[in-house]
């Protein structure tokens, strides 16, 4: 039996992870589940999976969860607060940690798992966006194993040779015969809408992704293509890629999850129905394979594949992210923090859709040159940028 910790268990990735584990109860047992404040979901999942620990970030929610579990005779120990996330992530009994908290809030606990040398299944791309260099150094230094969950990076990982898979962050792509990583994205729900009408996009329209079912923040990021920008930065660190080694391609069907082009002209790809249970099952079982419950791909119903070049006017966030990646960790941290605040404001109806990019750009300009040498510096910069972005929102 392998012990699994799921950080962000109540979310979209957390629930898909439980769906895969449910099919393989003899192989994985849940050591800990964590959530911010979703008590109902945590009661249900603790009763089903009887983890040793359940963590709620919110103290009141933790009290309520503990009371309800006690009433059911469930022996799961309930812990509260952010520090407890790091404690379960680094717990000596944990074999694997699914890092599926959304946003910068996921960085400390994901890093705690890395520093404890765990097998880390990385969904929280924001960790790498903020601290890519420090993060990959910590993976190396503490002997952690990193397995990408983001469908594109999981596809790239699967299409790369073993020598690269085993040396993430420090691999030599060119030496392994790779000429380019082809990072695909659907283009979101507005890829064919008039650019001039995009300022009027509503939150409901933005979170209705045509192919994937995901949490609200990443759904908005997919619509702006900030998600692809964050994934570009994620790919840069995971695969030690230079700017000219990553190309973004719009592929509206979301069946090819990304590709690797080799210098002999071969292109290897990973394909499948758009369902996160596939990369989750892959990373859980790697290097073995287990069933994920995902329907096999039916090429006759897919019919056709198409490819487009991303349009800079439609997706300013993509350009900003690529520029921030070249500028360094202060810029990517600023971009990420401003984006999180802007997306939240957009979802609450306080900011226009196209204004998200404006705030991200302003934050990169103001804070992109900040000196950041440590994780504490990055977390402090994140706080500072959030504060400033909220002020910009008020005027
Ligand atoms: P979600 O919003 O559905 O779930 C987020 C989880 O994080 C919940 O369990 C929530 O309780 C927890 N959480 C929220 N704020 C927190 C905080 N401040 N402290 C601690 N826990 C907190 O998000 P999601 O769509 O599952 O995405 C999770 C991560 O996976 C993100 O980084 C996202 O970019 C990445 N990802 C998601 C998908 C997808 O299909 N949903 C695909 C690729 C990558
Ligand atoms: Mg993705």
Q: Model confidence over 26-63: pLDDT tens digits?
A: 999 999 999 999 999 999 999 999 999 999 999 999 99
Lay out the sheet containing 267-271: strands in order across.
246-250, 178-185, 256-262, 267-271
Most ligand 1 atoms within 8 A of CB, residue of 11, 40, 258 to mutate: 11
- Cα(200) to ligand 1 centroid in Å equals 26
Tell whether 150 is in a known binding site. Answer: yes
Which pLDDT value is given to residue 323? 98
Place of tokens 């600023």: 334
Which pLDDT value is given to residue 212? 86
Residue 102 pLDDT grade (very low, low, confident, very high; cuts 50, 70, 90): very high
Q: Is residue 348 a contact partner of residue 389, using CB atoms and an 8 Å limit?
A: no
Tell whether ligand 1 has an atom less than 6 A from the beta carbon of residue 211: no
- Cα(106) to ligand 1 centroid in Å equals 8
Tell whether 72 is in a known binding site. Answer: no
Place of tokens 């919110």: 58
Which pLDDT value is given to residue 43? 98
Residue 324: closest CA among 128, 164, 166, 162: 128
Torsion-angle region of residue 381: left (phi > 0), alpha (psi -120 to 50) or beta?
Answer: alpha
- Cα(45) to ligand 1 centroid in Å equals 17
Which pLDDT value is given to residue 385? 98
Residue 7: closest CA among 132, 105, 93: 105
CA 14 to ligand 1: nearest atom: 26
CA 126 to ligand 1: nearest atom: 32
pLDDT at 346 over 90: yes
Helices assigned H by DSSP within the chain: 12-22, 39-49, 59-71, 82-89, 107-115, 125-142, 151-159, 162-165, 203-207, 216-224, 226-238, 277-285, 299-302, 316-327, 329-347, 355-367, 375-394
- Cα(288) to ligand 1 centroid in Å equals 26
Tell whether 149 is in a known binding site. Answer: no
pTM: 0.97
Average pLDDT over residues 129-134: 96
Residue 41: closest CA among 64, 24, 21: 64
Angle at 160 between CA 154 and CA 164, to 5 degrees: 100
Tell whether 377 is in a known binding site. Answer: no
pLDDT at 257 over 90: yes
Which pLDDT value is given to residue 283? 98
pLDDT at 393 over 90: yes
- Cα(124) to ligand 1 centroid in Å equals 7
- Cα(230) to ligand 2 centroid in Å equals 9
Tell whether ligand 1 has an atom less than 6 A from the beta carbon of residue 13: yes
Average pLDDT over residues 2-22: 98
Question: Which residue, judged by its Cα, is nearest atom 23 of ligand 1?
Answer: 215
Ligand index nearest the alpha carbon of residue 6: 1
CA 15 to ligand 1: nearest atom: 26
Average pLDDT over residues 148-176: 98
- Residues with CB in 5 Å of ion ligand 2: 150-152
Tell whether ligand 1 has an atom less than 6 A from the beta carbon of residue 35: yes
Ligand index nearest the alpha carbon of residue 39: 1
Tell whether ligand 1 has an atom less than 6 A from the beta carbon of residue 12: yes
Residue 395 pLDDT grade (very low, low, confident, very high; cuts 50, 70, 90): confident
Q: CA 218, 223, 226, 232 torsion: positive or negative?
A: positive
Tell whether ligand 1 has an atom less than 6 A from the beta carbon of residue 347: no
Tell whether 11 is in a known binding site. Answer: yes
In the chain, helix, strand, coil percent, each to 5? 50, 15, 35
Q: CA 64, 67, 70, 72 torsion: positive or negative?
A: negative
């Amino acid at each position: 039996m392998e012990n699994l910790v799921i950080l962000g268990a109540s979310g979209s990735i957390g629930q898909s992870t439980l769906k895969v584990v449910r099919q393989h109860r003899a192989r994985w047992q849940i050591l800990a589940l964590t959530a911010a404040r979703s008590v109902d979901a945590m009661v249900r999942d603790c009763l089903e999976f009887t983890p040793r620990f359940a963590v709620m970030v919110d103290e009141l929610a933790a009290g309520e969860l503990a009371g309800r579990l006690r009433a059911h005779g469930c022996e799961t120990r309930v812990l509260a607060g952010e520090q407890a996330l790091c404690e379960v992530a680094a717990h000596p009994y944990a074999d694997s940690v699914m890092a599926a908290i959304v946003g910068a809030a996921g960085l400390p606990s994901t890093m705690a798992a890395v520093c404890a040398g765990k097998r880390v299944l990385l969904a929280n791309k924001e960790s790498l966006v903020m601290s890519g260099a420090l993060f990959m150094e910590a993976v190396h230094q503490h002997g952690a194993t990193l397995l990408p969950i983001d469908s594109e990076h999981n596809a790239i990982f699967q299409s790369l040779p073993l020598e690269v898979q085993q040396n993430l962050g420090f691999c030599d792509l060119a030496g392994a015969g790779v000429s380019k990583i082809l990072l695909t994205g659907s283009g979101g729900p507005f890829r064919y809408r008039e650019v001039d009408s995009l300022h009027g996009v509503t939150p409901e329209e933005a979170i209705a992704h045509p192919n994937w079912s995901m949490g609200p923040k990443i759904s908005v990021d997919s619509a702006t293509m900030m998600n692809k920008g964050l994934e570009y930065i994620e790919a840069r660190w995971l695969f030690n890629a230079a700017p000219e080694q990553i190309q973004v391609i719009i592929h509206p069907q979301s069946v090819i999850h990304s590709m690797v082009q080799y210098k002999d002209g071969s292109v290897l790809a990973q394909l499948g129905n758009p369902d996160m249970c596939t990369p989750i099952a892959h990373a859980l079982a790697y290097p073995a394979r287990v069933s994920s419950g995902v329907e096999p791909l039916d090429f006759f119903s897919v019919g056709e594949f198409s490819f487009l070049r991303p349009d800079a006017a439609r997706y300013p966030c993509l350009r900003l992210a690529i520029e921030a990646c070249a500028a360094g960790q202060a810029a990517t941290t600023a971009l990420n923090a401003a984006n999180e605040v802007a997306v939240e404001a957009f979802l609450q109806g306080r900011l226009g859709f196209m204004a998200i990019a404006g705030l991200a750009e302003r934050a990169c300009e103001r804070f992109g040159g900040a000196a950041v040498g440590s994780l504490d510096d990055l977390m402090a910069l994140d706080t500072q940028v959030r504060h400033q972005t909220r002020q910009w929102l008020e005027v």
